[in-house]
A and B are shown apart, each in its own frame.
Chain A
Amino acid sequence: MNWVRASLRGLILPAITLGIWEALSRAGLEDPHVFPPLEWIAWTAWNDTLHASLIGNLLSSVGRCAAGFAIGGTAGLLLGAAFGLSRTMRVLFHSLFNTLKQIAVFAWIPLLAMWFGIGEASKLAFIALATFAPVLVNTEEGFYRAPAGLLEVGAVLTLRRFQVIRRIILPAALPSIMTGLQLGLIHAWLGTIGAEFFMTAGPGIGTFVAEGRDRFQMSQTLVGVVLLGLVGFLLQRGAQALERHALHWRQA
């Protein structure tokens, strides 16, 4: 029963944390809005779920994340493939992309807000932007992974360019592309959180968290933060499962 003991040890720190929290709120030394008793937090979670505001916020965030990921991911795949396949594209646009990539992604928010307002369009644009760079970089890298031997075989078989891409370059690029998409998904969720913090119009789990802060309701903020982490975790797990599924032929 070694693993039982190990997982019990893993509970020590969370238990201590919760104990200190509860003690702080019970002792009345701290503002109960900042350190609410645990049952308040549980009640907030239950109550907001019941009133559907939590689920509604959650769904609109996930939908927004998916839409932004789709836009930014597609753009990243296309431009990454163009960079990987065409020297001309690379020579013309690579330095431009590399320069823009240096700018920390959150620094784009004020610019996007001035261009597209603080509504849905800005949020989508920002999520797409956050997704774009990691997908592009990994897609491009994947296109250079084709083994030289296979390319020679392709030349011997006088395959046409299209066939070389489809049968040799693309399968070799797939693992790296998958890594890029997975990273892109993590960045898309980060972008969703950021976009909802900065542009607080409209529903969303990030807005829910920020609203909790404005109303000085720690229980609301904390419930929201836990959900942020949970969704991020599930997205990552989902992406990993998809990757395994898509690449299962590699074991053969």
Chain B
Amino acid sequence: MSATAFQPWSSRVVLALDGLVAPLALLVLWWFASAHGWMPQQVLPAPDAVTSALADLWNSGDLTTNAWVSLRRVVLGFAAGALAGILLGAAMGLSRRAEEVVRPLFTAAAQVPAIGWIPLLMLVVGIGEPLKIIVIAVAACVPVTLNTLAGARAVSPGFYEVAAVFRYSRSQILRRVILPASVPQVFTGLRYGLTNAWLALVAVELLASSEGLGYLLVWGRQMFQMDLVLATMSVIGAVGFALDAGLAFVERRLQHWKIL
């Protein structure tokens, strides 16, 4: 990867174009296969059927409506889960006693992936909006907690010595030493948490929802509209990518001081 930096721009363009060969070949094969009717429409629709399904979704407003529903759920669930994770992780990281009390139950509960809790939660809270938010929050909470805990623990002892020299109070140590030193690790947790949250959203919408991107997939399958399924999958991929890229951008902005 790093070798490309030393190559002239012309060969870098060629390299980038080479990356398009396989996708284009696949696209041509796909187009050819569907044009010649090698596969039934329900199994593999033509590429232009997928793009027109995407255009239909966009024009009818179904895409924006359902994408907003999904985004709202993921934002609410992620915010709740991340907040709980940071508090829990910080409490365990800062106090041995808190860790002794909370860690065993947390570890036991974390062995079940968030998706595994869905049927149980359905029994307790039903299949409404709270179910989705809780599942997403649980999915986000676990990696955030573990990484916050690790971050709070990993502060270099030298920093504490400096803080002792400056006679920092406990709250000053927390604000000026522990917080900045653990930010990178917390962000690692947040990114894993967001990825998990998005994954959990798709799962919970597939299982129990009447709106959202996951529901569009279910709908497409029930109607045997493979073009709709493929179009929705591409949207799910794009939104997932955008969410992660957005958080990476925030991370870079917040940590610009790290380069110093």
Contacts and interface: CB of A to CB of B under 8 A. Distances in A.
Q: Do A and B form a real pair?
A: yes
Nearest to B106: A13
Interface residues of B, number: 55
B136 interface: no
B22 A93 contact: yes
A213 B116 contact: no
Contact of B43 (A10, A34, A96, A114): A114
Contacts of B120: 209, 213, 218, 221-222, 225
Interface string A204-238: 00100110110010100110011011101100000
A107 B217 contact: yes
Contact of B116 (A17, A105, A110, A225): A225
Interface string A192-204: 0110011000000
A110 B101 contact: no
Interface string A97-121: 0011011111111110111000000
B13 interface: no
B18 interface: yes
A213 B119 contact: yes
B19 A91 contact: yes
Contacts of A102: 237-238, 240-241
Contacts of B18: 91-92
B260 to A, nearest CB: 29
A126 to B, nearest CB: 12
Given A102-B240, A221-B120, A229-B108, 20 more contacts: A9-B100, A10-B105, A13-B105, A14-B108, A33-B123, A91-B19, A91-B21, A104-B201, A104-B236, A104-B240, A106-B199, A107-B214, A107-B232, A107-B237, A110-B206, A111-B226, A111-B230, A115-B43, A193-B113, A197-B115
**Top 6 nearest A-B pairs by Cβ distance?**
A10-B104, A229-B111, A213-B119, A229-B112, A103-B237, A110-B221
12 contacts: A10-B104, A96-B22, A102-B238, A104-B198, A106-B199, A110-B218, A190-B113, A197-B115, A198-B207, A209-B120, A221-B119, A222-B120
